[in-house]
Structure 1
Amino acid sequence: MELEIQGHKVFTLCPTEHFLFLFLHLYKHFSVSGAGIRHIMDFLMFLDKYNEDIDFTRIRLVVSQFRGELFYCSLLEIGKTYLGFSPQKSAELFSLSISRPELELLLEDIIQSGCFGNASKVQKLGSTYVMSYAISSETHRPQILPLLFPKAEFLYPSFPLLIRHRWLLPFAWCARILKFFWKTCRSDKKEVSEGIRYGKKRVRLLKKYKTFPGTVAKVDK
């Protein structure tokens, strides 16, 4: 899609693809560390402005592929119930009933998550727990193993040397484990237990919404 801004041609996504991006970006953050209310507002405000230009047949197809029907409907319901949005009928793609307690559980998670779910050490530990749980569920290995010995790609941001020197992976594992235990020993033990408790709570929520990391289907173009 081509736009002109201050005399310059700018290429960007069409409303349908942009709306998909907002939903999937929100979905990704929610399924890993958590999504904040800002993500919800971006999603709802874009829908409110470009409702007439969005191809909801395509939206329905992609959301279904991602098993995101319940999550999508819950976002619309949050907008209607708490944020004053009134989505048009064309945007209401699935006939799912969502109870108030279910909606409040999701809203509580969104509010606690802040912006990206890493506002506190408890949330960061909880996110690590969620990721390790998801990996162990996929690989059928004990939960502690993927947490202690992740793939090299996962460690690239912290250990960029691994990009060219994969043989350094065992050293990166050791350094990471020592750093974790050093920080844990120096921190309040209550934070660790709260982080695990927070992670377990998010796992239950993600199971309900079928949004575990790594379980997403490929999108047909």
Structure 2
Amino acid sequence: MDFDKMLFLQIVNEAMYPNNEIKKDYGKVNWDALFRVARNNCMEAFVYNVVQKLSVEYSIPNKLVEFWKIAAMTCQMHEFEKYSILRYFLKESEKRDNKLVVFKGCIIADLYPNYSYRFSSDTDIFVDESDKEKAISLFETFGFKKEEEYSKSMVSTYIYSDFNYVIELHFSLFEDYMGSKINKLNNLKLTKEDSLISIQACGMEVTTLGYEEHLIYQMFHIIKHFSLQGVGVRYLVDITYYVNRYIEKIDVESFWRKMDYLDYTTFCRMFFKICIDYFGMDQTIMTNRKVVEKEGLSEFLLDIINVGTIYEEKDAAWQILGIMTPYFTGEDKIPKTNFGIKIKVLFPSSKSLPSNYAYAKKYKLLLPIAWFHKIINFTVKRHSHKGDWYEAGEKLAVAQHRLNLMKSLGLMDGGK
């Protein structure tokens, strides 16, 4: 693995435990390359203090340190503003007897040395569908505007434009996804009333998912992003902090039974192996589970550091979402050979088509028309996006890479 990328993992470790003495030699680091890795992983603010400390001993260009400082402060100011608004909003919602369940976001950020070090693009709030209209009324009362373009049936996106603050209001934890995997997740009833807890997070009292339920949800969320486009190092840090803080409140055996049920076991064992080896996760989470030594672990780690991309010059991972979704939800199976994967990507089945080809999903005889339609759409979009659009061969390579990773991590075929 690239030397600078391995050192980035070490710097993240230093940032996670700021009271520990820095022992690693950073004399040969390409600091510009390391900054790009930090930025791609949305971790400039998190690792800045370590970089600033190292700049005294090592020859980090002053211009880069100053630029890094500005990037970190910008991120921190966004987080401070966001949580200031959220605190006020939650207090007012409580006065109006609106039960809002906050998850991810501030629950995870509170585990960091300083909650402003963890960047997030929005705040996620769950509300039971029976309270939907009441919650919507509350949002509108406080000046949040619904963004129809980014909203779905089970997730409404609201923005507070004065501060560019986004809240996603969920009526289902699993958004609009459908399929056998989602059915299993719904069966776990992660939002049932008697499992919800109240905790202090980022200077406010919030209602959130139970300790075990939240860990299960986080693994779903990570696997979703990993399957559809890739995840970054921040997710390793999130889970390490969460397990280390709440391990005594998590029923470990129950957690693993549910991972078995969801076919997430192999992925979790390998993900936790990385967390243990690089970031000091409490190994109690692996009680009665062997810590894996499996071929493909370094490829998995490199994919995480690269945030899923194999073409670093292109920010285009979102282009394969339509291809990957049926495999993530359990609606389709990954072919056994690379040739089979290519055929599936080029000529998807009706259930593997995105929703904008609904006519072929409903009438399978129209499938060849949909394939031709896809080619036309691809050609038009490639022209309009130019440098930020995958060529046909690149798109195929990216999809094949993700599908092979999913297979190796047990996310298909019963988790084997």
Shorter-chain-normalised TM-score: which range? Answer: 0.5 to 0.7
Partner-residue secondary structure (3-state), 1:11? strand
Which of 143, 146, 151 is matched with 2:348 structurally?
Answer: 146
Q: Matched residues in 1 for 2:199 and 2:290: separation?
A: 39
Q: 1:111 to 1:93 in 2, by over 3 A?
A: farther
Partner-residue secondary structure (3-state), 1:3? strand
Q: What does residue range 190-201 of structure 1 map to in structure 2 within 5 Å?
A: 191-201=391-401
The residue type paired with residue 146 of structure 1 is P
Partner of 2:382: 184
Alpha-carbon shift at residue 3 of structure 1 (Å): 2.2
Partner of 1:109: 303
Partner of 2:292: 97
List per-residue Cα deviations over 1:145-181 (Å, max 9, x = no partner).
Answer: 43788567x34xxx9xx8xxx9xxx9xx687653322
Give the conservation status (yes or no) of the 8 Å contact 2:276–2:282.
yes
TM-score by length of 2: 0.39
Are residues 1:55 and 2:251 paired? yes
Q: Matched residues in 1 for 2:326 and 2:347: separation?
A: 8
Q: 1:70 to 1:93 in 2, by over 3 A?
A: farther
Q: Matched residues in 2 for 1:184 and 1:8: separation?
A: 46
Q: Matched residues in 1 for 2:376 and 2:257: separation?
A: 46
Give the conservation status (yes or no) of the 8 Å contact 2:226–2:308.
no
Are residues 1:82 and 2:278 paired? yes
Kindly name which structure, 1 or 2, has the bigger radius of gyration based on alpha carbons: 2
Q: Matched residues in 2 for 1:79 and 1:67: separation?
A: 20
Alpha-carbon shift at residue 193 of structure 1 (Å): 1.7
TM-score by length of 1: 0.68
Q: Matched residues in 2 for 1:55 and 1:5: separation?
A: 21
Which of 191, 201, 209 is matched with 1:13 structurally?
Answer: 209
Q: 1:183 to 1:8 in 2, by over 3 A?
A: closer
Give the conservation status (yes or no) of the 8 Å contact 2:322–2:352.
no
Partner-residue secondary structure (3-state), 1:211? coil
Q: Matched residues in 1 for 2:200 and 2:278: separation?
A: 35
Partner of 2:407: 207
List per-residue Cα deviations over 1:59-118 (Å, max 9, x = no partner).
Answer: 0111111222221111121112222x141334444225324x521110111122269xx9
Q: Matched residues in 1 for 2:254 and 2:352: separation?
A: 36
Q: Matched residues in 1 for 2:382 and 2:350: separation?
A: 14
Q: 1:113 to 1:192 in 2, by over 3 A?
A: farther
CA RMSD of aligned residues (A): 4.2
Are residues 1:124 and 2:329 paired? no
Q: Matched residues in 2 for 1:138 and 1:121: separation?
A: 25
Alpha-carbon shift at residue 127 of structure 1 (Å): 4.6
Partner-residue secondary structure (3-state), 1:51? helix
Q: Which has the higher contact order (CA 8 A, sep 6+)?
A: 1
Which of 216, 219, 225 is matched with 1:23 structurally?
Answer: 219
Give the conservation status (yes or no) of the 8 Å contact 2:270–2:292.
no
Give the conservation status (yes or no) of the 8 Å contact 1:129–1:200.
no
**Tell me, which stretches of 5 or more residues in structure 1 are unaligned?**
none
**Tell me, which stretches of 5 or more residues in structure 2 are unaligned?**
1-195
Q: Matched residues in 2 for 1:148 and 1:59: separation?
A: 35
Are residues 1:68 and 2:268 paired? no
Structure that is richer in helix per residue: 1
Alpha-carbon shift at residue 183 of structure 1 (Å): 2.2
